[in-house]
Structures are given as C-alpha cells and as structure tokens.
Amino acid sequence: MIPINDWSLQRTTVLTPLHLPELTQEQSVELDYVLPDYYPDFFRLLHCTAEAAVTEQTVTDGAVQYALRVTLHVLYCGEQTETVQSVTQTLDYRGALPLPPEAADADRLQIRLTGEPSYLNCRAVSPRRIDLRGAVRIRGVLCGERRREVLQSAEGLHTQTRSTPVRFVSELMRTEKAFLLSDDIRLPDAQPPLLSVLRMQTALTVAETRVVAGKLVIKGEANVSLLYTASNGIEHLDATLPFSQIAELDALSDEMPAIVTAVLTEQTLTPEAEHDGDIRLLHCDLGIVLQCAVIRTSSAELLTDIYSTVHPSEPIRAEIPLLTAPMQISEHNQQKIMLTKPDAVITKVYAAWAEPRQVQSAADASGGTVISGELQCCVLAADAEDHPMMLEERRPFTWELPQLSPAQALPPLRVQSCTYMLSGSDTVTLQPELLLSGTVMQAQKMPLLTDILIDPEATLPQRAQYALRLYFAQPNESVWEIAKRYHTAESAIREENQLAADTLTEPQMLLIPAVT
C-alpha cells in the first residue's frame, strides 16, 4: 500500500487541547522588621499571613520570567492595650519558570501565573523587633492548542464514505489586557472612623463579555471586603467597584463568544484623613489582568469511516479531542468546618473567613470532575476578658462534580461567603460556600479519520465471481458494516432491500449486490 496524500481528499483543520503540566516553584520569604516608634511593643501574636501576586510575566528563551510581590501581614496586641495592631510589609522578587518542551507545540499559549502562601512563621526577637520566615508558591496553569488535520470528504478510487455533522472550535484568539482600577471607598456615616486596616480581600467577577464593532467589551466588578479597627472595636466594610474595558483583536465578529478570566495582580489601600483627623475615605488601587480568549466555531461533515469497493484500503483513525463551544457554569458547594481553641471561653466572634489553597482538578472514573485542595480557615474572636484571639487551621476538602466534564481550564475557585456560629464555649463552626463560576471549554473525543492508505494498482480478490449474493442478517447489525464487509455500497444494499434505517431491528435475508 502507498499513502494517498491529496489525490481527492478534502481535509480540514480542528483545534485540539494540549495537556500541559502545571508549573510550580517556591520562593523563600524572610523579613527582619523593627516596629516604628508610633507602634506599641509587641506582646502577643494573633495572626501572620502572606499574600503573593504575580505583577508581571513575559515569555523569553523557553521560560516565563515573572515579578512577584509578597505582602506580609502581622496582627498582634500590645501589653497595655487590647486593640489589635496591624503590620504590613511588601517584598518584591523576580524569578523564572522553565516551560515544558511540549509547550512549543502550542498554537497559542496562555499562561496563568498565581501566587499563594505555603507557610509563614513569626517570632518576637524583642518587644520592638519581629522575625518572619516562610515561603510562597508560584503556580502556572498553561492553556494551549495545536492544529490537527482530519478528513472531510473523499472522491475517486471507488471509495465509500461515512460522515457525521460536527460543530467544533476552528480558531481561538488570545490576548491580555492589564489595567489599574482606581476608586474611592467612603465609610457610611453610621460606621465609626477607621483606625487601621486588619484585612483586605478582593474578589473579581466578569459579568459580561461581547464583541461590538470588532472589539471585545468586558464588564465586571471588584468586590472589596475590609476588616478594620475602630474606637469601639472591630468593624466590617464591603464595597463594589465596577469596571469596563475594551480588548482589541483582529478579525472579530459580533457572534463570537469569549472566555475572560480576571486576575488580581496587586491591591493597595490609602487612608485619607478629613479635616477633623477622622479617616472615612479610602483610596483603592487594584491591578487587574484580563486574560481573554475569543472563539470561532465551525460546522462540518467529518469522515468517520472510508473504504474502497475495488481497491485494498486501510483508514487511519484517531480519537480526536475536539474543543466544544464555551458554556457557562455556576456551581456551589458548602463545607462545614469546626475550629476549637482548647481551654478558651469564646464570647464574641468579630470575623471569620476561609481561603482556598493548593486547588487541583482531575477527571474521575465516571467522566466527571473532582476538585480538591485545602481551606485556610480563620476566626478572629474575643475571650471572656475581651482579649482578642485567633483560631486558624488548614483543612483538606474534596468536591465531586459528576455533571461537569473535565475542561481545558476551570475558573478560579473562590469562597463566596463564610458564615459561622458558636458551637460551644471553645468551638466555632464555619460554613464556607465554595463558588466555581465562569465560562469553560470542554473537549469531546470523537473517532475521526486523519488519512487513508489505498493501493490503486491492486484489486480486491474474488470481486468478479458474483453479481448478487444472499446474506442472513441479525438484529442490531449495521448496513454500513455489512456493505464494508462485502466491498459494496451501503446505498446499493438499501435500495435492493428497501431499507430505511442503518441498524436492522429483526432477522432478515438481504440481497448483497456487487458494485464497481
């Protein structure tokens, strides 16, 4: 047999996802910090944590070069006061993550780098000096596709073909849009003025994407949650900051869907005192990167089988994972976690929160998706003497999603809300609600033809010995498979036996005509 290239074969190109390994790297964090003069002496540690964000990334020489910003937060109490003090310091690093060799096969590669804390330890060297040691982890999720040719039609050499209608992703265009969202947050008149910020959490949501006049319009919002100290204790403040951006790509049409993921690269909060010295106005700066993918879909009849009624032939098949049109998902899962502080009497809870860590997704045996990771759970509370205390612990979680087929890249998992209740004098029960919301592309495996081997100089044996033969068919047999077995045309068997369906429902005698 000799390979037939483009004799009378029509091919088309489809996009298939590349399965690329996750990139990981750990960055050590060290800080020897002396408290400013206006801070009280360090007496009792409540909480220390690190926030890590990738502020820049570029691909050069087979590696992702990145800039990393680590923000360290320490909450403590002084000896003479029970007011919670907050220390915040920022450290900058640079690094590189080597790309795997298979990334070179990607048609267009998109990289989502994120940072998260691994651990952080804090100790008081003296009442004015604290020592922090820890590490943060940089994770890179790679999305890429490669083009594969499949057969769409064939003519000549007495070939018979079978095809199926398929709608698939034929082109995927990627870009990124970085911008700074700046806005003011004002405390309501009913709330006391701010003394210091204890915690700032920002959740980004992309609410709308659409192509207008050849440009991608993106609308969303940043939900900022603040925990701060005031003269009467600890207060909460929530604010929503809307944003609207335009991303430009070539050859966009209005009907093309898009997938946009918003990534937070930095967040800063600047208090502004009023004429009376009270802080009621906060200037918020959020660095945001919008990772955009715009999809063009096509419909075509793609070949699933082929043979010749005259010449020896062998189809070349492959299980092709075709990217399907994007779909919206919104999945919720509520966890229940109990945190205990032995020998403590908890009388008040100021705030409770949970943050996902080391989140992984994998396919399960039934074709669904399993998400696993850890939840960093924290509770800021007070004891019977009104002394602040912190309950914190990492707990593993597993979330089974049998209805969700494995996707190329899932949206970031976040905690939408975290309710709590006192379950005893020393126990707080948290109920964090996990949210997986956004747009995904899934891959559907299809058995398609990529080529055919055929020998045009040879003929099948015993072709000229009959013009018609009898065959006793069984229920559930395929007319196509019968025609293929006897090197004839399916249409000829249908016409000779007046058959409407491809699959037979009862035993019957068939007339098998020869076809040249």
pTM for the full predicted model: 0.86
Question: For 489-506, what is the mean pLDDT?
Answer: 89
Give backbone dihedrals phi and psi of 186, rounded to 5 degrees, phi first: -110, 135
Element spanning 496, H or E: helix 490-497
In a domain, 362, yes or no: yes
The average pLDDT across 351-367 equals 91
Within this chain, do residues 269 and 370 fall inside the same structural domain, yes or no? no
Residue 2 pLDDT: 46
User: What total of structural domains would you count in the chain?
Assistant: 4
Last residue of a domain, one of 382, 407, 440: 440
Domain termination residue (choose one: 114, 143, 172):
143
Q: What is the mean pLDDT of residues 486-515?
A: 88
- Strand (E) or helix (H) holding 479: helix 479-485
Q: What CATH number is given to the structural domain containing 490?
A: 3.10.350.10
Rounded to an integer, the average pLDDT of 103-119 is 88
Query: pLDDT tens digits, residue range 124-142?
Result: 999 999 999 999 999 998 8
Q: Does 482 share its domain with 493?
A: yes
Average pLDDT of the residues in 446-457? 91
Q: What is the pLDDT of residues 265-286, one digit of tens each?
A: 999 999 998 888 899 999 999 9
Residue 483 lies in a domain: yes
Q: Which helix (H) or strand (E) holds 143?
A: strand 129-143
Given a cut of 60, whether residue 3 has pLDDT beyond it is no
Where does residue 8 rank: exposed (0-12), middle (13-18), buried (19+ CB within 10 A)?
A: exposed
What pLDDT was estimated at residue 463? 55
Whether residue 501 has pLDDT greater than 90: no
Question: What's the whole-number average pLDDT of the chain?
Answer: 91
Secondary structure of residue 497 in the 3-state scheme? helix
Residue 322 lies in a domain: yes
Report the alpha-carbon distance of residue 211 to residue 256 in Å, rounded.
7
Which of 132, 138, 134 has its CA nearest to residue 28? 134
Q: Are 277 and 378 part of one and the same domain?
A: no
- Mean pLDDT, range 43-63, rounded to an integer: 92
Please give the backbone phi and psi of residue 232, each rounded to the nearest 5 degrees, phi first: -105, 10
| Secondary structure string (H, E, C) spanning 246-291 | EEECCCCCCCCCEEEEEEEEEEEEEEEECCCCCEEEEEEEEEEEEE
Residue with tokens 């609410």: 207
Does a structural domain hold residue 445? Answer: no
Q: Are residues 175 and 305 in the same domain?
A: yes
Same domain, 128 and 149: no
Residues 138 and 29 in one domain: yes
345 and 467 in one domain? no
Residue 6 predicted with pLDDT over 50: no
Are residues 482 and 350 both part of a single domain? no
Higher pLDDT, residue 415 or 505: 415
- For 393-403, letters b (16+ CB in 10 Å) and e give eeeebebebee
First to last CA, the chain: 20
Q: Are 291 and 182 part of one and the same domain?
A: yes
Q: Which residues pair with 140 in a beta bridge?
A: 23, 113
Grade residue 7 by pLDDT with cuts at 50, 70 and 90: low
Examine residue 449 and state whether it is found in any structural domain, yes or no: no
Answer whether residue 157 is part of any domain. Answer: yes
The domain boundary residue, chosen from 75, 109, 143: 143
Contact assessment for residue 24 and residue 90, using Cβ atoms and an 8 Å cutoff = no
What pLDDT does 464 receive? 53
Whether residues 122 and 160 fall in one domain: no
pLDDT at residue 443 tops 90 = no
pLDDT at 465: 64
- Provide the pLDDT for residue 163: 93
**Whether residues 35 and 9 fall in one domain:** no
Q: Are 438 and 260 in contact (CB under 8 A)?
A: no
Domain boundaries, position 474: 463-513
The answer as to whether 176 is a domain residue is yes
Residue 5: the pLDDT is 47
Helix, strand, coil tally for the chain in percent (to 5): 5, 70, 25
pLDDT value of position 80: 80
Residue 487 DSSP label: T
pLDDT tier, 109 (very low <50, low <70, confident <90, very high otherwise): confident
Tens of pLDDT, residue by residue over 161-192, are 999 999 988 888 889 999 999 999 999 999 99
- 497 with 411, same domain: the answer is no
Least confident of 102-106, 296-300, 446-450: 102-106
**pLDDT grade, residue 233 (50/70/90)?**
confident
Asked whether residue 448 is domain-assigned, the answer is no
pLDDT in tens, 374-402: 999 999 999 988 899 999 999 999 999 98
The token duo for 246 is 């335009």
Nearest-angstrom CA–CA distance, 46 and 68 = 26
